Structures are given as structure tokens and as C-alpha cells.
């Protein structure tokens, strides 16, 4: 027997429609890449998203067509999220930090018909256009006054011209909630990038889960500034979660440096933010240098790479901002786990709870996970056994876009994350490594993440990476590669001594090398494939 409830399909446009009606005058504030601050409301954003929808239809965009964006976190990018998906087309967010060859691959593979780009990326798109012939029209996300005097970009026009030609008298169409709404490619450090095609259903369910208190925990009282970019995994769902709850949304545009972020945190009264560890490490340095404090920021979610416990402690003790550690992937929309405490941890001091909060955390409802050994047999949740992390759920990828090959699913339908993890009896998952980065030494596995976290807790270390280097006796041994904090000195000998007694003897790094900077992927993760190349043949003295 079927239930007798309304079968209204979940649609992304429904979120903005809700915000425009019930949180009409709540603000969206954006720093514009072309300069200045733009300020309007959810009601106004909804009107402009409808104008955009009509413009897209006029340009012949059909359901299922991919519309690309090369854009920062701005109100126009927000409108594209809703306007493109609202007509049943696919908003394909492209990460401008990828290498040009990856960008060309992605734009051609996705077969984007239109491409919307910020002024910052004009030189980049002028180089890409001749090798991306399927893009029929390039749209500059600015007013016509910013259009170049001369350009060979096909169909070039300004976004504001496109919108001003339309009225907002448009009703969002109804369609199957499993219709695709957005597309994001993984950053692919070894293989070609792979497209994850989200649906309206997966996006709305994920956004609702993002609002849950132990997840991102968004509320109408919040002023939310996603530092995590809208060009990668939909800024962790915040551009959907904020309008669901009616929180003010602050979008930092191209100003991703610490000074610009801090200025916006303060001027807009931001209470909650989210981003990768690199952003917060840089911000911590900036705050310390200027003896600065946040007036309103109270909470931030850190994920995308392992959050060093030392960073959590510094933010909490020095800046009075709580860090929640979270884990996810492009393939999981991205939210998978968050490391908030449970009732049984009541009464623990911050120091006592740190080892729990430093883990990647417990699953968000909707996601299920398990760890398995090489034979696919489930391992116990004892916090010690580690194995391949598998996940499943309504916002986890089933297959990659246009791959022509089966995805990463097991025969019984679990997604292989490629991460190696433990799960403790309370359900807190901890990532030890990407499976490709695990160091195997004398039959034991060494977690590079544990060693990196420890290294970064040394006062003279700004950033650290650990990779395995060949060893005749042990197969592999850990090499620590360090960027020193400006103005501070530390020797290899001192750093090696720092590990003594803090990790098992066999896990201690064998050697330390100092570098000026570490290579990162387009999403801010340590690029260990590059480090392994740079240190190929490294012999421990
Ligand atoms: P991406 O698809 O670019 O978002 O990358 C996903 C990968 O980032 C995961 O499979 C993990 O290897 C890594 N990752 C994400 N969050 C964390 C975290 N909190 N700690 C450690 N690794 C993480």
C-alpha cells in the first residue's frame, strides 16, 4: 500500500523559492571580482535566477545541457546554481585552479555549450576557447562596461545584459527529482578527472542533512561565509543549506587571502564558515601576526584534508573559534562524517575531547560506511583495525558521468572511497591515509597523516608532508618534508627528536628535508604524487 502524502519532487529551485517567500529580506552579500561589494536579498536573488532561466531558454539551452562556470563565490554564481538547474539543465562548476590540460579535458568531456566566467578568468578563457570548440557562447559575469574592447570569444556577452533583457515572470517547471542538476569533476591527481553528476534529489537531501546540528549545523541566526569554493563540490552544500534555513550568506569572491577574508568576517558579522586546512593555517598566522581577534566568528568546519589537532587547539584557545572536523569527497556530495561530541562526552575538558574531535567523525544520517580488508571482509569497529573505507547512501555517486566504465562500486553496491580508515566503538571514523599514500614498513602500516599532524604541532613548522621512500631492509620508510615558519629555525635532528615517545618507534620518520613550499592539488591537498617524483631515489643517510 502506498502512503497518501503529496508526491512533490525535490527540486533545487524549490529551495530558493522557499527562501524568497519565507526569508525574503535576508541578505546575500558578495565581494565582486571586478571590485566592490554587492548586497541584495533572497527575494531579489530569486527574481534574477528566474531572469537567468528565461535567458537560458532564449539561448536554446535544453534540459540536460551542460552549462559551465569558471567562477568564484559570488551572488551571480549563486544565481547560476539555481537558474541553470531550475530549467532542468546541468550547472557544471569548473575548478579554475586545475592545470590547463585538465580544464580542456573537462570542458570537452562535459560538452559544455555555454560558459559563464568571472573577469579574473578572461585571460584563461581566451586561451581555452580555441581548443573548446563546443562552447557556443562565453558569458562574462559582470556588467557590459567590463567587456573587452576586442575579443575572439564566440558569442561573448555580459551577464548583466543577458539578464536585463528578461522579466522575472517565470514558473519553475516540475520534473523527476532524479534529474541531474549539477556536475563536478574530481581533481584527479593520478587519473583523468571524473565527473560526478548530482541529482535534484541527492542535492536537496544532502542540503537538509548539512543543516543538521551535528553536521554543518546551519540556522537562521547564522551568518554563513563559505570559504570553500563554489567551483568545487558545491561549496559543501552551503549555497543550498543557507537559503533552506534563512541564514545570511556572505560570498568572498576572489578575495581568498587572509586579509580580505578577515575584513569580510568582521564587516558582515560572519558567525560560521567552512574551508580546507590550508586556509585556516594561513589565517591563523595572519591573526597571530596582527594580534587580531574575531568579533563574531564562533565556528568553522574544516575538511578536505586532515585537520591538524594543533590547528583546532590554536583556533579554540587563541581565537575562541570552534573547529569541527569533517570528512567527505566529491563523490559524496561531499558530506560524509562530522566529529561532534555525543552525550557520553559531557564533562570532558577541551584537551580530553581533542583526540575524539580530531578524528574525521561519525556518519551523517543518510550515509552508511564500513571498513573492509583486502578480501572485502568487514573489519571490527574497535578503533584499531584499519581497512578500505566503503560508503553508500542517496547522495553517494553510483557511476561517473560519461565514463563508459563501471564506477568504483563493489558487487553489493558500496562505493570504494580509496581512503584507509579505522572506526571506533562509538562510530568515530579516522582516516589514516589515501590508500595510495599509506607507508608500508617491514609489514606494518604507518599513517602519514598522524606524522604530519604531529610535525605541524611543532612551533617552527608551517606545513609538513610525509611520504614513503624505498628502504632495502623495510621496503619503505617515512620521510618528513617540512616548510619552516617564516623567521623560525629548526634542524632535522631537533625535529626527529620531537617524535620520540609520541609515536611507536617504527613510525618515527627516518629523515627530514626542508623545502620552501609544498605542492598542492587544485583543491588544496598535498600533492604527494609530485613529492614522490621530487624525492624519487631518495636514500636515507
Ligand atoms: P575531494 O573529492 O577533492 O573532495 O577529495 C576527497 C578526499 O579528500 C577524500 O577521499 C580524502 O582522502 C580527503 N579528505 C577529505 N576530508 C578529509 C579529512 N577530514 N581528513 C583527511 N582526508 C580528507
Q: Supply the CATH number for residue 492's domain.
A: 3.30.300.30
Confidence at residue 279, expressed as pLDDT on a 0 to 100 scale: 93
Q: Say if residues 207 and 241 touch (Cβ distance below 8 Å).
A: yes
Query: Does the residue 334 lie in any domain?
Result: no
Shortest-distance Cα residue to atom 9 of ligand 1: 329
Which residue is catalytic, options 101, 296, 436, 440? 440
Ligand 1, pocket-test mutation among 233, 328, 420, most atoms within 8 A of CB: 328
- Residue 475 domain-assigned (yes or no): yes
Candidates 13, 143, 120, 127; CA nearest to 71 is 120
Active-site choice (160, 166, 268, 331):
331
pTM of the model: 0.92
Q: Looking at 275, 293, 322, which one is the last position of a domain? A: 275
> Given the CA of residue 334, which atom of ligand 1 is nearest to it?
4
- Asked, for residue 403, whether it belongs to a domain, the answer is no
- What DSSP character marks residue 457? T
Rounded distance between C-alpha atoms, residue 247 and residue 223, angstroms: 6
User: Torsion angle of alpha carbons 207, 44, 85, 239, nearest 10°?
Assistant: -30
| The pLDDT of residue 407 | 67
CATH classification of the domain holding 97: 3.40.50.12780
375 a catalytic residue: no
Domain boundary among 244, 275, 306: 275
Q: Which of 41, 266, 316, 445 is catalytic?
A: 445
| Residue having the nearest C-alpha atom to atom 4 of ligand 1 | 329
Question: Which range (166-175, 487-496, 532-541) has the least confidence?
Answer: 532-541
93 noted as active-site residue: no
Rounded CA-CA distance 528/509 in Å is: 16
Q: Does a structural domain hold residue 285?
A: no
| Domain membership flag for residue 532 | yes
Q: Are 276 and 51 in contact (CB under 8 A)?
A: no
| CA 326–ligand 1 middle distance (angstroms) | 9
Q: Confidence band (pLDDT; 50, 70, 90) for 190?
A: low
Domain extent at residue 450: 437-541
Write the pLDDT tens digit of every residue in 436-480.
Answer: 888 988 878 899 999 999 999 999 999 999 999 988 888 899 999
- Asked if pLDDT for residue 404 goes beyond 90, the answer is no
First to last CA, the chain: 72
| pLDDT > 90 fraction of the chain, expressed in percent and rounded | 87
Count of CB atoms situated within 10 Å of the CB of 61: 23
φ, ψ (nearest 5 deg) of residue 315: -65, -40
For residue 138, indicate whether it is catalytic. Answer: no
Domain limit, last residue, from 230, 254, 275: 275
The mean per-residue pLDDT over the stretch 330-343 comes to: 97
Please check whether residue 206 lies inside any domain of the structure: yes
- 241 to each of 58, 207, 335, how far by Cα in Å? 30, 5, 12
What domain count does the chain have? 2
Amino acid at each position: 500500500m502506498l502512503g497518501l502524502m503529496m508526491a512533490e519532487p525535490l527540486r533545487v529551485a524549490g529551495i530558493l523559492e522557499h527562501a524568497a517567500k519565507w526569508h525574503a529580506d535576508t541578505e546575500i552579500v558578495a565581494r565582486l571580482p571586478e571590485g566592490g561589494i554587492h548586497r541584495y536579498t533572497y527575494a531579489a536573488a530569486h527574481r534574477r535566477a528566474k531572469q537567468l532561466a528565461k535567458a537560458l531558454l532564449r539561448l536554446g539551452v535544453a534540459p540536460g545541457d551542460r552549462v559551465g562556470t569558471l567562477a568564484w563565490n559570488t551572488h551571480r554564481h549563486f544565481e547560476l546554481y539555481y537558474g541553470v538547474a531550475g530549467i532542468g539543465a546541468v550547472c557544471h562548476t569548473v575548478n579554475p585552479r586545475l592545470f590547463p590540460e585538465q580544464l580542456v579535458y573537462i570542458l570537452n568531456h562535459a560538452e559544455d555549450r555555454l560558459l559563464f566566467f568571472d573577469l579574473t578568468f578572461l585571460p584563461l578563457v581566451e586561451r581555452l576557447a580555441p581548443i573548446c570548440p563546443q562552447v557556443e557562447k562565453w558569458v562574462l559575469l559582470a556588467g557590459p562596461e567590463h567587456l573587452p574592447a576586442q575579443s575572439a570569444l564566440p558569442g561573448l556577452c555580459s551577464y548583466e545584459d543577458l539578464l536585463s533583457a528578461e522579466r522575472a515572470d517565470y514558473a519553475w517547471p516540475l520534473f523527476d527529482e532524479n534529474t541531474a542538476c549539477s556536475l563536478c569533476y574530481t581533481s584527479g591527481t593520478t587519473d583523468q578527472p571524473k565527473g560526478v553528476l548530482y541529482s535534484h534529489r541527492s542535492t536537496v537531501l544532502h542540503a537538509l542533512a548539512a543543516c543538521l546540528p551535528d553536521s554543518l549545523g546551519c540556522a537562521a541566526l547564522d551568518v554563513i561565509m563559505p570559504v570553500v569554493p563554489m567551483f568545487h563540490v558545491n561549496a559543501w552544500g552551503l549555497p543550498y543549506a543557507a537559503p533552506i534555513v534563512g541564514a545570511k550568506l556572505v560570498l568572498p569572491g576572489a578575495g581568498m587571502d587572509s586579509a580580505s577574508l578577515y575584513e569580510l568576517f568582521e564587516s558582515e558579522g560572519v558567525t560560521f564558515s567552512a574551508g580546507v586546512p590550508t586556509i585556516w593555517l594561513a589565517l591563523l598566522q595572519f591573526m597571530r601576526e596582527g594580534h587580531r581577534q574575531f568579533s563574531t566568528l564562533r565556528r568553522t568546519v574544516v575538511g578536505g584534508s586532515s585537520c591538524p589537532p594543533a590547528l583546532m587547539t590554536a583556533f579554540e584557545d587563541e581565537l575562541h573559534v570552534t573547529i569541527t572536523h569533517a570528512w567527505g569527497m566529491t563523490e559524496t556530495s561531499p558530506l560524509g562524517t562530522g566529529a561532534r561530541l555525543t552525550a557520553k562526552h559531557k564533562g570532558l575538558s577541551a584537551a580530553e575531547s581533542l583526540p575524539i574531535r580530531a578524528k574525521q567523525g561519525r556518519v551523517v544520517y543518510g550515509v552508511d560506511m564500513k571498513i573492509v580488508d583486502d578480501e572485502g571482509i568487514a573489519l571490527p569497529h574497535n578503533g584499531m583495525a584499519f581497512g578500505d573505507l566503503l560508503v553508500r547512501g542517496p547522495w553517494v555517486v553510483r557511476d561517473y558521468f560519461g565514463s563508459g566504465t563501471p564506477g568504483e562500486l563493489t558487487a553489493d553496491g558500496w562505493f570504494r572511497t580509496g581512503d584507509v580508515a579505522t572506526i571506533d566503538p562509538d562510530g568515530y571514523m579516522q582516516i589514516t591515509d589515501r590508500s595510495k599514500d599509506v607507508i608500508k614498513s617491514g609489514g606494518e602500516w604507518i599513517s602519514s597523516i598522524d606524522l604530519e599532524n604531529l610535525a605541524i604541532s611543532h612551533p617552527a613548522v608551517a606545513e609538513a608532508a610525509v611520504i614513503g621512500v624505498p628502504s632495502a631492509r623495510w621496503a619503505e620508510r617515512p620521510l618528513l618534508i617540512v616548510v619552516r615558519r617564516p623567521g623560525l629555525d629548526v634542524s632535522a635532528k631537533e625535529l626527529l627528536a620531537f617524535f620520540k615517545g609520541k609515536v611507536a618507534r617504527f613510525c618515527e620518520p627516518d629523515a627530514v628535508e626542508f623545502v620552501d613550499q609544498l605542492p598542492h592539488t587544485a583543491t588544496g591537498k598535498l600533492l604527494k604524487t609530485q613529492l614522490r617524483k621530487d624525492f624519487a631515489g631518495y636514500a636515507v643517510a
